[in-house]
Structure 1
C-alpha cells in the first residue's frame, strides 16, 4: 500500500491553508502569553525582593542605618522592577547626599556609592531660612547647626548667584591676607554690589563692576589703609570703596575720606 504524498503548501486548499495559519498564530500568541506570564511572575516573585543594600563612599555626615531608614521607604519594586533612576533620587533625598550611584547586585541586593555635600559657606536666604553652599557653588538644605563649629563664612545674595559669590570669595580671600583678617561674610546685592565683613568686625562696601575692578579697589585699599589706621591710632570700623578718587573710612571715634593713587 502506498503512502499519500503531502501536497505542497501552494497546492493545498484555501481553507486548509487558512486553518494552518490560524493555528500558527494561536501558537505564537499562546507562547507570547506564557512568556508574559512568566515575566510577570519573575517581576513579582518574593524570591527577588531587595533584601540588602551595600553602601560605601562618603559617610561623614550620615550613618549607614540613617541612610537606609531614609531611602528604603522610597524604593519601589524588586530586583528586576526597581527603577534605578528613582532609586538614585531616593538616596539623593537623604540630607547631605549630593550624588548617588545605584546598581543591582544579583540576586537581591543593591550597591550604592554616595558623594556627600562638602559645605563651603552658610547661605542667608531672603526668606529667612538659612541653607548651605557646597564646594561646587550649589545650595542645599541641611541642618545648619551641624556646621556651627566649622567656622564657615556667611554668604547672601540672589539664590541663582551662589556659585558667583563662592568664586568671588575665593578671589578676595588672599587680597585681605596682609591685613591679618579673614572674610567672615560676603554679600551680593540684586544690583550687583559687593560688601564684606571681616572677622575683626569691619564692614567694607566694595561696590559694583567686573571682578577685576572690584579686586583692584580691594587691593588698593589693603595696600594703603594701614597708613590711615596707624596715623589715627584707631581700628577700622567701616570703609566705602565706591568712590572714584579713593575711599571713605570710619575709625572708632574718627571719620575721614582718604584719597589714594594707583
Structure 2
C-alpha cells in the first residue's frame, strides 16, 4: 500500500498528536478525497462563487415545497393541469366490450374530469377501479398519444337470476353474485333460481332438466327446498315436486305420464314424484271445487234414482 502524499503544504502538517511520520496511518483510498476537500474548505483554500449560498437556500426551499406537494397529493394535480394545457388533455375515449356497463359508469369509476391529462392517468390504478364495477371482470387500458384513451372491458357471464327472500341478484355459473337485478329484457331469458343454496347448485340442476326438452321449455322457476332437493314451477303455475335422489328417473317418469295422460296440461296444482312407487296429484282449488260439485251432484242423482225406484214398487 502506498503512503498518502500531497504536494499541498497543509498536508505536511497533518500529523496526529503523539505520532511520528514513521507511525502515521494511511487512509483508505475512498476517504482520501473527502478528507482533502474538508481540510482545504476549513483552511479557506476553497472559495464558493458569489450567490452560491442563495442558490443553495432556494434549492432547499424548492425541494421542501415539491416534497410537501407530493405528500399532500397536490403535485399530481399540477402535472395534470400543465400537461393537459400542453396538448395532452383527454379528448377522445373509446370503450368496447361493454354490454351492461354504461359509459357513465366508466367515467365515474375513472374520475375523468374535463381537463384530465393522458400523461397523469395511471393504467394500473384505472384497471383496478374498473374492476370494482359489478359487471367488469377484467379491463385493458391503452393511452394513444396525444389525446386518446382506449378502454376494453371484459364483462362477467351471467348464468341466472337468483331470488333469496325479497332480494334479486344476477349470478354466475359458480353462484358468485355479479350484482343486483334490474328489469332488463336482456336478462329475462335467464334461468330463475329461488331459495337458499340455489345459486351454488343451480348449474347442475338446470343442465339436468335441460335434457328433457318438452319439460324444460315450460319451466319458469327452479326452487331449492331445504338445500336438499328441488321443485319446478311451470308456466301454468303447476309445481313438480322432485326427490333428493333419483332425480333423472323421476323426470323420465314425468315425461312418460305426459305422453300417456297429458298430466302437465291438466287442472293440477302439483305432481309429487318424491316416492318411487307412486305419483301423487294435487288438484287446483277450481278443480277441487268442480270435483266436489260433481261428487255432490252424482250423490243427489243417485238418491233421486233410489226414490223413483221405491215409488214404483
TM-score normalised by the chain length of structure 2:
0.56
Q: Which has the higher contact order (CA 8 A, sep 6+)?
A: 1
The residue aligned with 2:273 is 241
The CA distance in 2 between the partners of 1:93 and 1:178, in whole Å, is 41
The residue aligned with 1:220 is 253
CA apart distance, 1:114: 0.7
1:128-182 C-alpha deviation (Å, 9 max, x unpaired): 22111245653221442124873433212335x524203311220231x235842
Q: Which runs of 5+ in 1 are unaligned?
A: 1-7, 25-33, 256-262
CA apart distance, 1:124: 0.5
Query: Residues 43-122 of structure 1: matches in 2 within 5 Å?
Result: 45-46=79-80, 51-52=89-90, 54-64=93-103, 66-73=104-111, 79=119, 82=122, 84=124, 86-103=125-142, 105=144, 110-122=149-161
Residue 33 (structure 2) pairs with residue 20 (structure 1) = yes
The residue aligned with 2:208 is 171
Does the 8 Å contact 2:192/2:222 carry over to 1?
Answer: yes
Residue 219 (structure 2) pairs with residue 183 (structure 1) = yes
The CA distance in 2 between the partners of 1:48 and 1:148, in whole Å, is 42
TM-score normalised by the chain length of structure 1:
0.65
The CA distance in 1 between the partners of 2:152 and 2:168, in whole Å, is 28
The CA distance in 1 between the partners of 2:36 and 2:94, in whole Å, is 53
SS in 1 for 2:154: strand
SS in 1 for 2:252: helix
Does the 8 Å contact 2:196/2:227 carry over to 1?
Answer: no
* From 233, 238, 244, the counterpart of 1:208: 244
The residue aligned with 1:199 is 235
Q: Which runs of 5+ in 2 are unaligned?
A: 6-25, 38-62, 292-313
Residue 170 (structure 2) pairs with residue 132 (structure 1) = yes
Two-structure CA RMSD over aligned residues (Å): 4.3
Does the 8 Å contact 2:123/2:142 carry over to 1?
Answer: no
The CA distance in 2 between the partners of 1:215 and 1:201, in whole Å, is 22
Does the 8 Å contact 1:79/1:108 carry over to 2?
Answer: no
SS in 2 for 1:14: coil
